[in-house]
Amino acid sequence: MGKEIKLALVYRDMWQASGKYMPSKDELVAVAEPIIEMGCFDRVETNGGGFEQINLLKGENPNDSVRAWTTPFNKAGIKTHMLERGLNGIRMSPVSKDVRKLMFALKKKQGTDISRTFDGLNNPQNLELSFQYAKEGGMIAQGALSITHSPIHTVDYYINLADQYIDKGAEEICIKDMAGIGRPVSIGRIVKGIRERHPNIIITYHGHSTPGFAIVSSLEAARNGADIIDVGMEPLSWGTGHCDLLSVHAMLKDAGFSVKDVNMDAYMEVRRQTQVIIDDSLGYYINKQNRYLNSLLIGPGLPGGMMGSLMADLENNLKSVNKWLIKNNKSEMTQDELLIKLFNEVEQTWPMVGYPPLVTPYSQYVKNLSLMNAIQVIKGRERFSMIDENTWGMMLGKSGSLPGKLDPSLIEMAKQQNREFFTGNPQDLYPDVLPEFAQKMKEKGWDEGKDQEELFEYAMHPEQYEDYKSGKARENYLADLQKRKNAANTPSGSTLAAVPTSIGSMHPKSLVIEVNGEKFNVNIEYPTDGDSASSQSSDSTKNTSTAPVSTHGKYITSPLEGKFFLTKNSSEKAIAVGDTINVGDTVAYVESMKVINAITSSIGGTVQEILAGHGDDVEEDAPLIKIA
C-alpha cells in the first residue's frame, strides 16, 4: 500500500469560484450529512474569504451559518478550515489588530479548526500576527503560498518563502494555486524543496482548474511529498473551480497512493442537493463561461475565485463601454472582445505595478486597473489616466512591499500627485476599532452577541452589517434574484423583451451641442403620460448641467460613470468654491467597479462652482467642477 493522501472538499470555494453567493444556513446544514457519509474527506472548507460578507449581502446572519455548518463536521471528527487574508482578515481591505485577534478566538469557538492564511503580496510580515492569533485562539495556523507565474516567482522563491512562514509561526503549508497557472513540474519541485527542509510539516495542494494544469499538478504535488489534495465535485468542479474528486481519486489510486473509498450513493446526494441550490437561486449568479476550462487565462493568470464575479461585473462594464461607443458613432463590442482586451492589458499592466500575486484583493486591483486601461485605450485616451485609490495604496506600499519593482513612470506619476510612499509595517496604519464599534452598538441598542460575534461582524463588515440589520440587504437580494429569474424566463427575442418601458429609453436624454466653438450640455425631455413623465423628467435632469463645457478645459468632467464623492473618508477635507487647484491635484472621487477612483484635474485655477452633490450618480463626461 502506498503513502496515504488525504482529501479535502473546498465547498465554500466551489461556490465562490463559480458565482457571487453562498448557500443559506439550512442548505448548508442539509448537505453536511451526505458530505460526511461520502467517507472520503478528512477536511472540509466551511467558511472564511467572502463567505460572511456574502451572507450579509443576502440578509442572513453569518455567525448562525458558521456555527450550524461546522457542527456536523466537528461531531464526525472531520477538521474544518477557513480562508483568511492576513492584514485584510476576511474582507478586501486592511483591518485593525484587535479585530484580527478577536476573529481567530471567535472562529474556533464557532467550530473552525484550521486557519488557512495568505497575504496577497506573499509578505511574511503581514502574516505573523495571523499565525500568532490563530494559535492563541486554539486553531491550527496554516500558511498559504500564493502561486503565480512570473520571472520573479521562481521555485526557489517559494521554497524560501515557506521557510519564512514557518519561522513566523506557520504550522502547516498550503500551495495555493488560486489561478491554476502553476506549472505542474514547478509545483512538484516546490513541494519537494519544502519537504526536504521540513520533513514533518503537513503540506496541502490547492489548485483551481481554470487553464487545465491543476489535475497534473495534484499528481506532481502528491509524488513529491504533499499530504492533502483539495478537490471540488460536480456540479461545481472544473472550470474556474477545482479538479473533480472522482478524477483526482482515480488518478491517485492508479499512481499507487492510498486514498479512502468514496460512498457513491452519498456522492450523488451531495451532487443532487447542490444542483437544487443552483436551480432554485444561486445559478442565476453563475456565468456559464465559468463552467469551462479556459487556456486563455494562462497569460493573464487571473484566479478562479475572481473569475466568478468578473464575468458578472463585465456585463455592466460592457454596457458602459457600448453606451460610449454608440454616442461616438462607433461599433459596439461583444463581451468576448472586451474580455480579450482585458487579458492583454493584464499582461502589460501587471509587471508595471510590481508583479503582485494575482490573488484577492490584488487580483481585483490589477484587473480593475487593466480594465480601466483597456477602456481608456478604446476611447482614445492614455493608459493609467485613471488609477483607483486601492491600487494606489498597493503601489505606495501601504499593504507591504511589492515583490517586484514599480515602473518608473508610475513612480513619477505618484510624485506629480504628491503621493508619499510607505515603508513601515502596514498594520500600524490601522488603529484598534472595537471600542468604537461597541459604543455604536450600545447607542443603537444592538447586542454584541455570543462571544462578541455580532460586534466582530459589525467591525469587520460595517456597511454590510448595517444593511443586514435594517433589512435592506435582504430586500435588495430578493429583488435582484426575482429580476434575474424574470429575465431568464423571458424568451430571447420576444416582443416583451424588446419593448422599451418608456419613450425616454428610446431617445437620448442629453446632447452636447457646439455653438461658435463652445460646447453646451443640453438636457432633452420627451412628453408622456402619467407619473412616468415626471419620473423620466427627474431622471433626465439629475446630475447634469446646462452650463457651457469649454473645449479649453474650463470644466472638470467625470472620467467614467459612477457615484460622485467629494471625499473618500470623513477625515479628508472637500474642495470648496474659491479653492485654488493645480494640474494633477485630486479634486474628488467617483466610485465605479467597486473601487474609488480619484478625479485629478488637468487644469489649474479657482473653483467657481461644484455641479454635482456628494453621493450623486453621474454620467461619464458630465461636468462636475467649474474652474475660473
pLDDT for the residue 66 = 97
- CA 423 – CA 495 distance, rounded (Å): 60
CATH of the domain at 525: 2.40.50.100
- Of the residues 498, 524, 548, which one is the last residue of a structural domain? 498
Domain count for the chain, please give it. Answer: 4
Residue 599 DSSP one-character state: E
Same domain for 478 and 603, yes or no, is: no
Angle between helices 335-352 and 362-378 (to 10 degrees): 120
**Cβ atoms within 10 Å, residue 262:** 18
- At residue 420, the 3 state secondary structure works out as coil
CA gap 466, 478 in Å, rounded: 17
Give the start-end residues of each E strand in 134-215.
140-146, 172-177, 202-207
Q: Please check whether residues 309 and 241 belong to one and the same domain.
A: no
Residue at 482 is within a domain: yes
Same domain, 493 and 397: no
Cα radius of gyration (the chain): 26
- Residue 527: per-residue pLDDT: 42
Last residue of a domain, one of 429, 459, 475: 429
Strand order in the sheet with 562-565: 595-600, 586-592, 562-565, 617-618
Distance CA 418, CA 420 (A): 6
Residue 503 lies in a domain: no
Q: Which three cell numbers stand for residue 100?
A: 484580527
Provide the domain limits for residue 346: 299-429
Residue 341 lies in a domain: yes
pLDDT at 428: 94
Same domain, 591 and 542: yes
Shortest CA distance to 226 belongs to which of 174, 171, 163, 153? Answer: 174
Tell me the residue type at 567.
T
Q: How far apart are CA 496 and CA 501, in angstroms?
A: 10
**Secondary structure tally for the chain: helices H, strands E:** 22, 19
Q: Do 164 and 212 fall within a single domain?
A: yes
Q: Does residue 416 belong to any structural domain of this protein? A: yes
Distance CA 271, CA 275 (A): 6
Q: pLDDT means per 10 residues in the chain (628 residues)?
A: 94 91 95 98 95 94 97 98 95 93 98 96 94 98 94 96 98 95 96 98 96 96 98 95 97 98 98 96 87 80 63 72 86 86 88 88 86 86 85 92 93 91 93 96 97 97 95 95 90 42 38 49 44 34 39 72 80 86 86 76 88 85 88
Beta bridge partners of 605: 581
- 34 and 137 together in one domain: yes
DSSP 232: B
Task: Indicate the residue among 429, 460, 477 that finishes a domain.
Answer: 429
What pLDDT, on a 0 to 100 scale, did the predictor assign at position 312? Answer: 61
- State the Cα–Cα distance between residues 217 and 185, nearest whole angstrom: 7
165 and 152 inside one domain: yes
Position 488 in a domain = yes
Tell me, yes or no, whether 260 and 166 share the same domain: yes
Collapsing DSSP states into helix, strand and coil, what is residue 503?
Answer: helix
Together in a domain, 25 and 162: yes
- Residues 419, 448, single domain; the answer is no
Whether 210 and 274 share a structural domain: yes
Same-domain status, 216 and 326: no
Give the model's pLDDT for residue 226: 98
> Cα(484)–Cα(150) distance, rounded to whole angstroms?
39
Q: Enumerate long-range contacts of 363-366, CB under 8 Å, 24 or more apart.
A: 363/120, 363/178, 363/179, 363/302, 363/303, 363/306, 364/92, 364/306, 364/390, 364/594, 364/595, 365/390, 365/391, 365/394, 365/595, 366/391
